[in-house]
Amino acid sequence: MGAMALTPVARAEDGYDLWLRYAPTDAARSSSLSAHVTAIVATGTGPTWAAATSELQRGIAGMTGTKPAVTATIQQGALWLATPASSPSLPVKTDGLGLEGYAIRSVTIDGKAVTLIAANSDVGLLHGAYHWLRLAQTGASLDSLAIASAPKIGLRMLNHWDNLDGSVERGYAGQSIWDWWRLPDYKGPRYTDYARANASLGINGTVLNNVNARSESLTAPYIAKAAALADIFRPYGIKVYLSVKWTAPMELDGLKTADPLDPAVAAWWKAKADEIYKAIPDFGGFLVKANSEGQPGPQDYKRTHADGANMLAAAVKPHGGIVMWRAFVYAHDNPDDRAKQAYSDFKPLDGQFADNVIVQVKNGAIDFQPREPFHPLFGAMPKTPLMMEFQITKEYLGQSTHLTYLGPLFEETLDADTFAKGKGSTVAKVIDGSLEGHKLTGIAGVANIGVDRDWSGSIFNQADWYAFGRLSWDTSLSARDIATEWAAQTFSPDQKVVQPVVMMMMGSREAAVDYMTPLGLAHIMNTGHHYGPGPWVSELARPEWNPVYYHKADANGIGFDRTKSGSNAVSQYAPTIAKMLDDPKTTPERELLWFHHLPWDYRLKSGDTLWDGLIHHYEHGVADVAQMRATWETLRPMVDTERFAETETLLTIQQREAQWWRDACIAYFQSVSKRPLPAGSAAPAHSLDYYKALKFPFAPGN
């Protein structure tokens, strides 16, 4: 059977296809691709083989207009998929690739030039197929390929904060994509497309429900719904996990306690695990938020986090399951410094967790801020596997409307040096297990996915999902290279498009830091919905819910003193870092006010006073967004009308809101500092009372 010619169908771009657009190429590239793939040779069978071959057919047909045939016979120019099991005389070694890695090689078989994708498993072949398609879409050379790739991190997961009623906590792209009401019967195509997108990045796990969990998610009807999704995801190498509520035994079956050391509680969880694994044999395990923000947990019974985690771990261990126990804890009875509490609670438990427990730690010690220093737990628990938790959904970074590419934030955290075992002990080496020899390793991203046609609330928000996935597979990648890949696949491989798009993306997160929380400020967003500025908020019941708690601005200065003379949070870091952070002169200025309360006339490296420098940072942020808008305008002739117009509108919103951030924050801080604005700086457009009076009772995601 020969290749079939297809006529490309012209259609509007709505973002649904993500980075898997497989857009038609020019004649020269199309001819080259057709020559490289005269057929797809696949000798294996099963749903994952089918997924790999159909994705290759789909991609090549989209780019060239010709759908290659699938055959079992090697021919000149074929794309050959093989495992040692399917082809015992494989001409490429697959040692060291594990079960998910792959090799891509240009080889000659019986005088025929072919491209070989080899792996030890069907899922490895699927990952290799997506890598080849990425090369094809980005215009890379397909000659003389010699690629070997395997993930260093074992668990690469999305955490969905999706509720059973279809809402999404901190979701800014519409309702949940899980239609719990119609599952398990109706399994729409979007679930498969979700799996395709994740598999293309190497993401291999999905927590289906919110960490603020409902007990009902563990009932038989909802287990059946989760099983239906697991069946769809399985061919793509993706396991499902569930968040659990600590008091589920009490709420569902009337137990009198949820004490983890009570034999009846342990027996309940063992029976529940058995029930889940009967429906989902490859179920991944549980994610737990306990004793945080009012959630129940083992501390309610004078037990430790380790006591709770280990009880659950025993329930899932016979099935090969794991427990991910979140370290995001803070309580009203710890008024000293919220940033210290996770370390204080978990550091003493190092070495006490079962071997199928991994502690999930946010990238910073507060809460997914535009910038935070790396969490001090990284490097501080050598006997315990730690799992990174990033937030892809931008709760504090402009939500769905601001273009703030998170690749640099992820990269900054992963590359941070903990000095736990001397220089070079990066956060990446902590979470990939190489620093301490851990086998259980993981990284999680709080998903930004909803039912919007573009999945993420905007085209550019897709890049954050993409960047998380690519860095989860390979933490050594650069945010810039990832942005380049994404832009080439999402818009065009033409460098006249790629270069300005990447320039916008790479400056966008720093711009947001400048117009929101410059110089180490944090958590000054309005409370509850976290939309817009609210540095004046001070009346909430718990101190650490109030922005004034974090910036501590007064007539004398601004910043949170975490030095030895303050909360001494610096002592939670390795001595080399603690010494650096204890002195404002050696603290990186980007984190200055995180660690120091300084006078308004403190001199920055620029020569500005702290007051003038703060104002200038706010102004730079606004100016950078204006430049992003101007850059986008130059791309009008080169980007499809639909996606250009959407982005144009969102950048307009972003510039307006950046100005709002600048004006509102300056109005408040000036009311405290009583200082004049620097020469040339415009006064806020409105009074402080005007900004304080703004209300947003129906902000999304709250």
The answer to whether residue 633 is catalytic is: no
Read off the pLDDT of residues 235-283 as tens digits, 9 standing for 90 and up. 999 999 999 999 999 999 999 999 999 999 999 999 999 999 999 999 9
Q: Tell me the per-residue pLDDT of 543-579, one tens digit each, with 9 for 90 and over.
A: 999 999 999 999 999 999 999 999 999 999 999 999 9
Q: What average pLDDT does the segment 83-98 reach? A: 95
Which of 26, 143, 165, 293 is flagged as catalytic?
A: 293
Q: What is the CATH number of domain 4-149?
A: 3.30.379.10
Pseudo-torsion of CA 97, 101, 103, 109, nearest 10°? 90
Please state, in angstroms and rounded to a whole number, the distance separating the CA atoms of residues 668 and 564. 29
Set 13, 259, 345, 395: catalytic member? 395
Query: Judging by DSSP bridges, how do beta strands 112-118 and 102-109 pair with one another?
Result: antiparallel
Distance of alpha carbon 661 from alpha carbon 423, whole angstroms:
38
Superfamily of domain 155-480: Glycosidases (3.20.20.80)
CA separation for the pair 404, 629 (Å, rounded): 13
- State yes or no: is 293 an active-site residue: yes
In this structure, the number of other CB atoms found within 10 A of the CB of residue 434 comes to 14
| pLDDT above 60: residue 3 | no
Confidence of residue 9 (pLDDT cuts 50, 70, 90): very low
Equal CATH topology for 4-149 and 514-560+597-693:
no
Q: Which two tokens stand for residue 239?
A: 């396991």
Q: Are 290 and 298 in contact (CB under 8 A)?
A: yes
Please compute the mean of the pLDDT values over residues 403-410 and round it to a whole number.
98
Report whether the peptide linkage leading into residue 637 is cis, meaning its omega lies within 30 degrees of zero: no
Q: Over 60: is that where the pLDDT of 171 sits?
A: yes
| Residue 367 annotated to the active site | yes
pLDDT above 90: percentage of residues in the chain: 96
Q: What is the pLDDT of residue 334?
A: 59
Indicate the average pLDDT of the chain.
96
Per the CB < 8 A criterion, the answer to whether 263 and 250 are in contact is no
Check whether 5 has a pLDDT greater than 90: no
Place of tokens 């204890």: 582
pLDDT tens figures, 331-370: 766 568 999 999 999 999 999 999 999 999 999 999 999 9
pLDDT for the residue numbered 201? 98
Is a pLDDT exceeding 70 seen at residue 136? yes
* Helices 47-64 and 122-137: angle between axes, nearest 10 degrees: 10
Contact (Cβ atoms closer than 8 angstroms) between residue 284 and residue 322: yes
Rounded Cα distance, 8 and 63, in Å: 9
Indicate whether 519 pLDDT > 80.
yes
Whole-number pLDDT of residue 4:
46
Q: At 593, which amino acid appears?
A: L
Q: What is the mean predicted confidence (pLDDT) over 21-47?
A: 95
Q: Residue 551: its pLDDT value, please?
A: 98
Query: At the fourth CATH level, which superfamily is domain 514-560+597-693?
Result: Alpha-glucuronidase, C-terminal domain (3.90.1330.10)
- Spell out the domain ranges in the chain: 4-149, 155-480, 514-560+597-693
Which residue in the list 17, 367, 389, 624 is annotated as catalytic? Answer: 367
The reported pLDDT for the residue numbered 460 is 98
- Structure confidence at residue 336 (pLDDT): 86
Largest CA distance in the chain: 82
Is the model more confident about 13 or about 12? 13
Provide the pLDDT for residue 701: 94
- Asked whether residue 524 carries a pLDDT value surpassing 60, the answer given is yes
- pLDDT at res. 330: 83
* Contact predicate 399/171, CB 8 Å: no
Check pLDDT > 50 for residue 10: no
